[in-house]
Each structure stands twice: as structure tokens, then as C-alpha cells.
Structure 1
């Protein structure tokens, strides 16, 4: 049917739940961070998604999706260190924007894998290099940049308010 192994289904399920918690954290708190339950679940499930993705070799050996998984783990680690060091404006930016960036990272394999499998028998995209897919991912990146700008302005406002108090 969708040509997914049981491990691939497990990996996909973790990713979908992670994205739901990430969106919930953004809508509820304006950011993704481990100080909230939804943010912490997002971070841990995203790490699990990236880790399990390292063991999926549908297209042969180590490839671009594996690189994205490693980059995701690195960004999550950097954001976690920054969140624990808290206090500085820079650390807040690294935490919030890093975690949000990993939500954008979910979009890339999510759209690629879904679009190259569905609808069954006549998938929406021909493959990862499909121009329409690249355009959609590009639009997703622009949405991330807009959201990151809003988050950065909110963080700055919060620091100015705290400094004035």
C-alpha cells in the first residue's frame, strides 16, 4: 500500500505526534521550549524521530535525509544547552529559534515522503527534486522566517520590559 515498514510506521507516528506537540507549544506559548510540557514532548519526540530516521535506508545508504536527522539532533542539542544557560538575550534566541527551526525540518521529509506516496498509484510529487515540492518547502522556509522574526521581536520586547522593571 504505502510501502512503509513497521519501523517506518513507528518513525512516522513519532514524527506526527511531535509535530502536533510543536504546533501546540507555538500556539499556546508562542515558542517551543522544554519548560512547558508540550514543548518538552516536542523536543524529545523530535529527537526520537531524528534518531530513528538514522536507521531507515529506503533509498540505499546514508543520504540527505540522514544528514537532516544529524543536523536536527545538533540543533536540538545546541538549543538545549542555550536553554539551560538562560539569562542572556542570545541564549533565548538560540533556544526559541533553534527549536522552531527543527519544526521546519519536520516539513521537509514529511512533505517529501507523503507527496511521493500519496495518492496511491499517482503520487503528487515525482521525487525529492520535484520543482513543486521544492517550491512548497521554500514557502515553508519563508513561513519559518516570518515566525522567527515575530519570535525574535517578542523575545527582545520581553528583555526590554524585564530590564526596565
Structure 2
């Protein structure tokens, strides 16, 4: 199975499903919120993705992907804590930006693993340190930053208008 263990295959399916929930939420509403159905599914799926990822040691033991999993879990915890109103008025901003950051995190191993395996026999990237891969991840980080700015501005406008809790599509 393309060099995947059974756990790796299950992990990949969970990751794809979680990412799909996050991207659909972003597409529909412009944000991911823990208390929405898609947002909750995204958080649960991303958590399971991290946990199953800890058992995958294809590249010689604990490494950068495992550290990214730990960071992702910490960011998810901050988002969940913020969703409970624990950060006051800043909570909804923290929740939305933190969850968007975890979407960016999904793309790092996703691009790395896909790009170093496909096409079979002549993968796009020679390894995880390929300059082109790093450039793509850098561009995606800039996309995340631009999206986060748009999300914060939108939430701020909603707060000023008194509309509040669940934002609609970002204009």
C-alpha cells in the first residue's frame, strides 16, 4: 500500500476526513468553530490524526512529524479552551485563528508524504528537505496569515455590528 502500514493507512483516511471537514467549514462560513458540527468533526478528526500519527515511525523513530502532532494538539486545546469563553472577548478570535493554524499544519505532512511518494518511481520531491517543498509550505503559511487577518477583521466587524457568535461567509 504505497509503503504505508495499516496504521498509516488509517491515519491517512482520518486525516483526509478531518481536513475535508475543516475546508468545507472554511468554504461555507469562512471560519471553523468548535461548536459547529463541521468544526467539532474537524477537531475530533484532527485529534485522532495526531494520536494515530504518534504510532507511525517510517523515518527512523520520533521526529519532526511527531513534534508537529504535539504542537497541533496543544493548539487544538487552546482553541477548545477559547471556545468555552475562557479568554473573554478575545476567545473567539483565538479559537478561529488557532483552528485555521491547525489546517495549515495538516498540509505540512500531507504535502511531504504525498510529494515524496508520488508519482510512484519518480516522486515530485526527493525528500522532506527539498527546497521546492519548503517554498510551497512557505506560500501556504502566507495564505494562512492572510486568511487569519481576514477572519479577525470579519469577526471584529461582526462584534461591532452586535451580530456576535456564529459568523457567516467572509466577504
Query: Shorter-chain-normalised TM-score: which range?
Result: over 0.9
The 8 Å contact of residues 8 and 56 in structure 1, kept in 2 or not, is answered as: yes
User: Tell me, what secondary structure is at the counterpart of 1:85?
Assistant: coil
Cα offset for 1:87? 7.7
The 8 Å contact of residues 89 and 155 in structure 1, kept in 2 or not, is answered as: no
Give, in whole Å, the separation in 1 of the partners of 2:156 and 2:86: 14
Structure 2 residue aligned with 1:60:
60
Higher helix share: 1
Structure 1: gaps spanning 5 or more residues: none
Q: How many pairs were matched up?
A: 163
- Match runs of 1:13-162 below 5 Å: 13-85=13-85, 88-162=88-162
Give, in whole Å, the separation in 2 of the partners of 1:83 and 1:45: 17
User: Tell me, what secondary structure is at the counterpart of 2:32?
Assistant: coil
Q: Deviation string for 1:55-93 (max 9, x for gaps)?
A: 111111111000000000000001000101268331111
TM-score, normalized by length of structure 2?
0.92
The 8 Å contact of residues 11 and 49 in structure 2, kept in 1 or not, is answered as: yes
Q: Using CA pairs under 8 Å that are at least 6 residues apart, name the structure with larger relative contact order, 1 or 2.
A: 2
The 8 Å contact of residues 86 and 92 in structure 1, kept in 2 or not, is answered as: no
The 8 Å contact of residues 35 and 83 in structure 2, kept in 1 or not, is answered as: no
Give, in whole Å, the separation in 1 of the partners of 2:53 and 2:11: 7
Give, in whole Å, the separation in 1 of the partners of 2:92 and 2:42: 18
Structure 1 consecutive aligned stretches of length 4 or more whose deviation exceeds 6 Å: none
Give, in whole Å, the separation in 1 of the partners of 2:34 and 2:143: 23
TM-score, normalized by length of structure 1?
0.95
